[in-house]
């Protein structure tokens, strides 16, 4: 699929005079495309003058960035302490088993990406997961299958 780089040009213009703007520019690219496509990073390097190794060092350091395309639905399992003591590891295992992937991976059909996050701050309803920005709380392993099914079918 051909990548539409117009959005990248806009982002470049936005950060052209911004001191220390590399992280912000990468965040905007990540937001627009859901990941950091290499052609976009090359344009960033050419226009803003950051060497590619600097861009990759930042892109691989911070968790917010992905160098591979993500699935249609991003499922983030909260692994904060409050969720941990309320059973989050079992929720994660159940999701891994249902999807057949581990954290940081995407299903072959590109339906789901699975991530773990340190805390979403919704401790009152833990263990909690965040799918596409929506929180699903008070989970038990038994509830996982139905939630994933709902999203799989929604496409």
Interface mask toward another protein for 95-134; x: CB under 8 A: --x-------------------xxxxxxxxxx-x------
Residues counted in the chain: 155
Per rule CB under 8 A, is residue 24 in the interface with another protein?
A: yes
92: its two tokens? 């994660």
Per rule CB under 8 A, is residue 151 in the interface with another protein?
A: no
Q: Which is nearer to another protein, 43 or 86 (CB)?
A: 86
Give just the sign of the alpha carbon dihedral 76, 79, 80, 83.
positive
Write out the residues near another protein by the rule CB under 8 A.
19-24, 26-27, 57-58, 61-65, 79-87, 90, 93-94, 97, 117-126, 128, 135, 137, 140-143
């Amino acid at each position: 699929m051909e990548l539409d780089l117009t959005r990248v040009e806009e982002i470049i213009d936005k950060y052209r005079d911004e001191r220390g703007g590399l992280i912000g520019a990468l965040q905007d690219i990540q937001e627009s495309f859901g990941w950091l496509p290499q052609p976009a990073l090359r344009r960033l390097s050419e226009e803003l003058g950051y060497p590619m190794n600097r861009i990759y060092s930042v892109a691989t350091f911070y968790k917010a960035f992905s160098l591979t395309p993500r699935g249609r639905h991003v499922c983030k399992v909260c692994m904060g302490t409050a969720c941990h003591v309320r059973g989050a590891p079992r929720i994660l295992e159940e999701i891994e088993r249902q999807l057949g992937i581990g954290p940081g991976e995407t299903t072959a059909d590109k339906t789901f990406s699975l991530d773990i996050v340190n805390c979403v701050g919704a401790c009152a309803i833990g263990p909690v997961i965040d799918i596409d920005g929506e929180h699903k709380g008070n989970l038990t392993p038994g509830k996982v299958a139905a939630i994933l099914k709902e999203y799989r079918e929604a496409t």
